C-alpha cells in the first residue's frame, strides 16, 4: 500500500467525511458537500502535480 | 414530557462536554443528541489515526527543544483515548525508512487536529451558538 495516489485519495476521503459531517447538518447536504470536497481535493492535487511535473527546470 | 438528549446536555457545563469530546472523538456530539454526526466522528477519526499507525507513522514525543516535534506531538495528542491506547500498546514507534512514514505522520497529526475541531464544534453547540 505505497501508492501515492491511493494514499492521497484515502486521506482526502477521511478529511472530506469529517468536514462534511462538521459543516452540514442534513445527511443529503453532507453527502453532496462531501463529494464536492473530495472532488476538489483530488482534482486540485492532480492539477498541482501536473503543474510541478516539469520541475526542477 | 420527556427531556431530549439535547435538553439534558443544556444543563451540563460546556467545558465538560468539550473535554469529553477531546478524549473520545464524537462523544460531545452524541452527548448533545447529535448521534449521526457523533458516530461519524467516533468511527472516522480513530480509523484515520489507526491508518496512520499502520502506515508506520510516529507518535512524536513532547520535545520542547525541537519546536516542530513538540507541535506534532501536541497535534497527535488531540486524538484523545486512541492516542493513549496506542501509546500503552507501544505503537507509533515510526519507521523512518518506510516509504509510507511521512504519510503515516500526516494521517496521525491531521486526525488529532480534526478531533480538536470537532471538540470546538461540540463546545459551540453546548453554548447554543449552533
Q: What is the ipTM of this complex?
A: 0.89
d(CA B54, CA B62): 22
Helix H or strand E encompassing B48? helix B35-54
Interface subset of A 15-54, CB within 8 angstroms of B: 15, 17-18, 21-22, 27
Cα R_g (chain A), whole angstroms: 14
Global pTM? 0.90
Tens of pLDDT, residue by residue over A7-39, are 999 999 999 999 999 999 999 999 999 999 999
Count of beta carbons in the 10 Å neighbourhood of residue A50: 9
Q: Which residue has the cell 491511493?
A: A6
Report yes or no: B48 and A14 within 8 Å, Cβ to Cβ: yes
Chain B CB contacts of A21 below 8 Å: 36-37, 40-41, 44
Alpha carbon A52 to chain centroid distance? 18
Best of B40, B45, B95, B119 to mutate (most A CBs within 10 Å, chain A): B40
With an 8 Å Cβ cutoff, are A7 and B44 in contact?
no
Count CA within 13 A, CB hemisphere, residue A1: 13
Tens of pLDDT, residue by residue over B67-102, are 999 999 999 999 999 999 999 999 999 999 999 999
Report the DSSP beta bridge partners of residue B93.
Answer: B58
Name the grid cell of B91: 505503537
Best of A18, A26, A31 to mutate (most B CBs within 10 Å, chain B): A18
Kindly give the residue spans of alpha helices, DSSP state H, lying in chain A. Answer: 4-23, 27-51
Q: Is any Cβ of chain A less than 8 angstroms from the Cβ of B24?
A: no
Instruction: Give residue B1's pLDDT.
Output: 46
Amino acid at each position: 500500500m505505497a501508492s501515492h495516489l491511493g494514499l492521497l485519495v484515502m486521506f482526502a476521503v477521511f478529511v472530506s467525511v469529517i468536514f462534511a459531517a462538521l459543516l452540514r447538518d442534513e445527511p443529503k447536504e453532507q453527502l453532496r458537500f462531501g463529494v464536492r470536497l473530495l472532488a476538489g481535493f483530488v482534482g486540485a492535487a492532480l492539477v498541482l502535480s501536473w503543474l510541478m511535473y516539469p520541475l526542477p527546470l | 414530557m420527556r427531556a431530549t438528549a439535547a435538553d439534558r446536555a443544556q444543563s451540563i457545563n460546556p467545558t465538560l462536554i468539550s473535554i469529553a469530546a477531546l478524549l473520545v472523538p464524537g462523544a460531545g456530539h452524541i452527548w448533545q443528541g447529535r448521534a449521526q454526526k457523533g458516530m461519524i466522528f467516533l468511527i472516522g477519526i480513530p480509523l484515520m489515526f489507526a491508518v496512520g499507525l499502520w502506515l508506520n507513522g510516529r507518535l512524536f514525543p513532547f520535545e520542547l527543544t525541537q519546536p516542530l516535534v513538540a507541535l506534532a506531538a501536541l497535534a497527535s495528542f488531540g486524538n484523545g483515548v486512541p492516542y493513549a491506547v496506542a501509546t500503552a500498546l507501544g505503537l507509533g514507534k515510526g519507521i523512518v525508512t518506510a516509504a509510507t512514514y511521512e504519510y503515516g505522520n500526516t494521517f496521525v497529526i491531521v486526525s488529532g487536529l480534526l478531533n480538536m475541531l470537532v471538540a470546538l464544534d461540540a463546545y459551540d453547540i453546548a453554548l447554543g451558538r449552533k
